[in-house]
Amino acid sequence: MLDHRIDTFLTLCDCMNYRRTAELCHLSQPAVTQQIQYLERLYGCRLFTYENHKLVKTEDGVLLERYARAARAHDNTLREKLADKKVRVLRVGATKTIGDYFLEDYICRFLKSEENALTLIVDNTEHLLRSLVENELDFAVIEGFFDKDSFDSILLRREPFVGICRRDHPFAGREVTMDELLQETIIHREAGSGTRAILEQELSGYNESLKRFQRHICISSFKLILDLVRKGFGISFVYDILADSDPELAKFTIRGESVVREFNIVYLKYADMRDKVASLFGRAPLSRPGSPR
């Protein structure tokens, strides 16, 4: 069982306010202060400080937070094992491309065993990473960027990132210039999604942005994005696995660019969720980022 003072510490890390922490933990504000001071004496370091009247974590505080969140995850795993439940529940997050177009075969294989149960949350990268921090998920499968100081990861797959348009669009099957591209209506995901972050990064390499397109449309549903592209309302950028899912769509690329991104299995640093990851994906396909696949 985790020390209750660690729970108080993590609550303060979340809200960065002593008064709000006291309210959430049902403590007095002096009690919160005393608990943090106890941890500082225990570990021999300052965990928080004030900069321009704003509470901030020290480097030692950040390190303790990472270990404490991992310890909470291990504590939950231990409780599950000690409870000796007949059914094992795996809590998995996935970004929308991966959740809707990639995971089905793995999930079906996992659920063939009556001892396995699954909670799958499909959301954007930003929300999934937050859910990992809050210990609401065991791991998440994402295609977006993440902080490698806060999370560990396993490379699952590398996937081309391509443009899509109607089959009769002038871009179909071509390499296009940036000038040509900016004359189009771009249909893209919402802020916080991994797909949008990758698109914005590629545009920034040309010193361009979404605002430079003739028109841009923001939609969080891949199904609706594909429908609109198919009906000629604009172009979009998606992963190859999604582009290939609709025979009415054609692919194009930006001239001189070959964009490939990773699908990573991400979990809290120091939490070591490899056994849980292997229960869904098996051991053979997994490799560390940068290793041969």
Residue ranges of the chain assigned to CATH 3.40.190.290: 159-259
Range 171-189 average pLDDT = 95
For the entire predicted model, the pTM comes to 0.74
What's the rounded Cα separation, in Å, for the pair 2 and 68?
9
Please say whether the beta carbons of 145 and 200 come within 8 A.
no
Taking the C-alpha atoms of residue 134 and residue 102, their distance in angstroms, rounded to an integer, is: 25
Q: Going by DSSP bridges, is the β-strand pair 236-239/151-166 parallel, antiparallel, or unpaired?
A: antiparallel
CA distances, 239 to each of 102, 144, 180, 247 (Å): 11, 12, 21, 15
Confidence of residue 99 (pLDDT cuts 50, 70, 90): very high
Measure the CA–CA gap between 51 and 22, rounded to whole angstroms: 21
Q: Where in the chain do CATH 1.10.10.10 domains reside?
A: 4-62
- In terms of Cα–Cα distance, which of 279, 166, 143, 145 is closest to 233? 166
Nearest-angstrom CA–CA distance, 293 and 287? 7
**Helix or strand holding residue 250 (H, E):** strand 249-254
pLDDT band of residue 284 (cuts 50, 70, 90) is very low
Confidence grade of residue 119 (pLDDT, cut at 50, 70, 90): very high
CATH number of 72-157+262-281: 3.40.190.10
Residue with tokens 């480097």: 59
Q: Which residue intervals of the chain bear CATH 3.40.190.10? A: 72-157+262-281
pLDDT at position 85: 67
Q: What is the mean pLDDT of the chain?
A: 89
Q: How far apart are CA 263 and CA 238, in angstroms?
A: 13
Question: Which CATH code is given to the segment(s) 159-259?
Answer: 3.40.190.290
* CATH number assigned to the domain with residue range 4-62, chosen from the 4 options 1.10.10.10, 1.10.540.10, 1.20.120.420, 1.20.120.450: 1.10.10.10
195 vs 163: which has the higher pLDDT: 163
Given a cut of 50, whether residue 286 has pLDDT beyond it is no
The answer to whether residues 35 and 9 touch, using CB atoms and an 8 Å cutoff, is: yes
Quote the tokens at residue 97: 């491309």
Q: How far apart are CA 128 and CA 198, in angstroms?
A: 17
pLDDT tens-place string over residues 7-56:
999 999 999 999 999 999 999 999 999 999 999 999 999 999 999 989 99
Rounded Cα distance, 138 and 143, in Å: 17
User: b/e per residue, 25-34, with b = 16+ CB within 10 A?
Assistant: bebeeeebee
What is the mean predicted confidence (pLDDT) over 119-145? Answer: 92
Which three-class secondary structure state does DSSP give residue 71? helix
Q: At 283, is the pLDDT very low, low, confident or very high (cuts 50, 70, 90)?
A: low
